[in-house]
Amino acid sequence: MKIFRGRGIPVPISWVVVIVGLIHPGLALIIAVLALYELESLVG
């Protein structure tokens, strides 16, 4: 699963979660949950 930033550069969501997790673990957890919800809404 890829997430697209402003300039159209594909950024793997796992990298985002890892980088944010180093700075703010709670925020990384929120991002991971939101990503799962989006994935389920796309599948479902």
Q: What is the pLDDT of residues 1-44, one digit of tens each?
A: 565 555 555 667 778 888 888 998 888 888 888 888 887 887 76
Please choose, from the candidates 31, 5, 6, 7, the residue with its C-alpha nearest in 3D space to the C-alpha of residue 18. Answer: 31
Per-residue pLDDT at 25: 86
19: exposed, middle or buried (Cβ count in 10 Å: 0-12, 13-18, 19+): exposed
Residues forming a β-bridge with 4: 10
